[in-house]
């Protein structure tokens, strides 16, 4: 089973700053199967990035994804107030989907 590790666990930043979130997998994964989601309390998750770097429909261009192999990154270029939430990476392999433990992005 592929294990996903996200860092940091919590990231404290101010609106307007740049956020860099990391997702590492325990073994190399197909980047076409790597996705990022955002979830706010009481709401359903929302797809941000799929295929490691493709923004989902309606996602603003301040969100970008990159990476390959075992190291993937979600970057938010300039934080808006609505971006503070929990972020999850997710991968698919060998008939299993796996989510990372999440990074909580909080307002400093």
Q: Which residues bind other proteins (CB under 8 A)?
A: 1, 32-33, 35, 37, 39, 43-47, 50-51, 56-57, 86, 88, 90-92, 95-102
User: In the numeric block, which tokens belong to residue 31?
Assistant: 């980047």
Beta carbon of residue 5, minimum distance to other proteins (angstroms, whole number): 12
Q: How far is the CB of 81 from other proteins (least distance, A)?
A: 22
Q: Which is nearer to other proteins, 83 or 102 (CB)?
A: 102
The nearer residue to other proteins, 17 or 54, going by C-beta atoms, is: 54
Q: What are the structure tokens assigned to 6, written together?
A: 């996200």
What residue has token string 């990372």? 100
Residue in the block written with tokens 């190399």 = 28
**Can you tell me the distance from the alpha carbon of 11 to that of 1, in angstroms, rounded to the nearest whole number?**
27
What's the CA gap between 81 and 16, in Å, rounded?
Answer: 9
If the CB atoms of residues 11 and 35 are measured against other proteins, the closer one turns out to be 35
């Amino acid at each position: 089973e592929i294990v996903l590790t996200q860092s940091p666990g919590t990231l404290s930043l101010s609106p307007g700053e740049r956020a860099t979130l990391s997702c590492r997998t325990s073994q190399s994964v197909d980047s076409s199967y790597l996705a990022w989601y955002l979830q706010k309390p009481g709401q359903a998750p929302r797809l941000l990035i799929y295929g490691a770097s493709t923004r989902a429909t309606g996602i603003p261009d301040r969100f970008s994804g990159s990476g390959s192999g075992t190291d993937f990154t979600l970057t938010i270029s300039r934080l808006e107030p609505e971006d503070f939430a929990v972020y999850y990476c997710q991968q698919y392999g060998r008939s299993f989907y796996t989510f990372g433990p999440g990074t909580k992005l909080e307002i400093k």
